Structure 1
Amino acid sequence: MTHVIEHSPSGRAKCRGCDTKIGKGELRFGERRPNAFGEGEMTLWFHVPCAAYKRPEPFLEMIDDQADDLAANDLTVARTLKPAAEFGIEHRRVPRLDTVDRAPTSRARCRSCQELIEKDTWRIGLVFFEEHRFGPSGFIHAACAEAYFGTTEVLERISHFNPALDAGDIHAIEAALQPQASLD
């Protein structure tokens, strides 16, 4: 199955990565998969950056396989996101990153350290890709990012998937991403 990158002919498709509409004429990535409900194949549509961040393997396959078939501008856009996709392959848990917010309660447990995430502290929401969709799979403390993802270089992804965050929030998240020193 060959994945595709093309300009959206209409504004009806929704991105599987960020759950927003893909506008008419906007560049989109289509991941081709066997149809789970019948014969043939189906296409899962993503904004190109969302595909690079959340589905790095098929995105890189498309760049390698379709490089000759893409328009020069489209190939340039895809190649600028290639390092982000390679980073997602190198750090296998990074594509799970989804939302970032302050914990509304103290009931959720961190998937990394298993401790409760205190109310009003920054937490990172995780998703798993299963059965053609992303399903929520819990949270981690922002300070546990290094232990869980193997890196703290995730601000670009956080900004992409959380456009409502302002500069102050991004600065606070950047500080929260740093692992806390042990008081032992």
Structure 2
Amino acid sequence: MMINIQEDKLVSAHDAEEFLRFLNSGDEALQQEATTLLTREAHLLDIQAYRAWLEHCVDSEVKYQIISRELRSASERRYQLNETMNIFNENYEQLEIRVAHQLDPQNWGNSPKVRFTRFITNIQAAMDENEDLLHIRSNLIVHRARRGNQVDVFYATREDKWKRGEDGARKLVQRLIDYPERTFQTHNVMIFL
């Protein structure tokens, strides 16, 4: 199955390439491994075990990006500009700083405690041509609740790359989070997606 991006003008070249990557992968063991990785990671983030998340799930060479794509109609695009905007573009050290901020007792955002529930769906897995990177695509919904009336819901698509380390465990080396809103409808973005 091919996607002709000349005919299907709404499909980007990147999306067509990613679709083909996962279409040709039918390895059930790989799919199960990907599901296990993501659900364990989600559990750590839901219970706010951020240091354990960094230690067990995130590689020291990680690239963690949240982007938003252009949402204008074709007739409004008078200029050739980038179609994506970075919301976060972080490395391991920057993630460590965000974790330290979350754990700081002076962080008023965590008093009262915030509760998270993550839903991960549409998980697709495929190996890299070199057989060293596991590509995982998933959709994510995060429900964040603080107090009785402060609720935020985040929706996103994630494209991950997980690398097996010397100890045999896979760690996240790249995460591209495609956030579908240009303007956040939430109280803040102090969250790991």
TM-score (norm 1): 0.25
Higher relative contact order (CA 8 A, sep 6+): 2
The structure that is strand-richer by fraction is 2
The structure that is helix-richer by fraction is 1
TM-score (norm 2): 0.25
